[in-house]
Amino acid sequence: MTRTVVAGVDGSPEGLAAADWAAREALRRGLPLRLVHAWEGGLPADIAPDAVLPELRAPQYRAMRVLRSVLDQLVERYPQLSVSAEEVCRPPVSTLLAESENADLLVIGSQGPSGLGGFMSGSVAMATVARLQHAVVLVREGETAEAEHLPGVDGKPSIRMPCRDVAVAVGLDEPSHDVLDFAFHAADLRRAPLRAVHAWRVPVSHGLPDAEARARIRGVAERELAALLAPWREKYPTAVVEELHEGWPAHVLVRAASGAGLVVAGSRGRRTAFGPHTGPVVHALIHHVHCPVALVPHDSKGRPSMR
Per-domain residue ranges for the chain? 1-45+52-143, 152-306
The fold of the 1-45+52-143 domain, in CATH, is Rossmann fold (3.40.50)
Q: Which residues pair with 196 in a beta bridge?
A: 168, 242
Rounded distance, CA 105 to CA 5, Å?
5
**123 vs 305, residue with greater confidence:** 123
Q: What is the pLDDT of residues 227-278, one digit of tens each?
A: 999 999 999 999 999 999 999 999 999 999 999 999 999 986 544 443 445 6
Q: How confident is the model at residue 288 (pLDDT cuts 50, 70, 90)?
A: confident
At 267, give phi and psi (nearest 5°): -135, 130
The pTM of this model reads 0.85
Give the pLDDT score at 306. Answer: 34
User: What's the pLDDT at 214?
Assistant: 83
Read off the pLDDT of residues 90-142 as tens digits, 9 standing for 90 and up: 888 888 888 899 899 999 998 754 333 343 445 677 777 878 888 999 999 99
Residue 17: CB atoms within 10 A of its CB come to 23
Asked whether the domain spanning 152-306 has the same topology as the one spanning 1-45+52-143, the reply is yes
Q: Average the pLDDT over 135-158 and give the result.
A: 91
Lowest-pLDDT range of 92-96, 179-183, 222-226, 246-250: 92-96
- Check residue 64 and give its pLDDT: 83
CATH architecture of 152-306: 3-Layer(aba) Sandwich (3.40)
What 69-77 contacts at long range (C-beta under 8 Å, 24+ apart), as own/partner pairs, is 69/11, 70/9, 70/15, 70/16, 70/19, 70/35, 71/35, 73/16, 73/20, 74/19, 74/20, 74/23, 74/33, 74/35, 77/20, 77/23
- Partners of 84 in beta bridges: 34
Query: Which range has the worst mean pLDDT, 35-39, 40-44, 115-119, 258-262?
Result: 115-119
- Give the max Cα distance, the chain: 80
Comparing 3-12, 42-51, 122-131, the range with the smallest average pLDDT is 42-51
Is pLDDT at 48 greater than 50 in this prediction? no
Instruction: Determine the pLDDT at residue 251.
Output: 92
pLDDT of residue 132: 80
Q: pLDDT at position 12, please?
A: 87
Cα–Cα distance, 87 to 120 (Å, whole number): 14
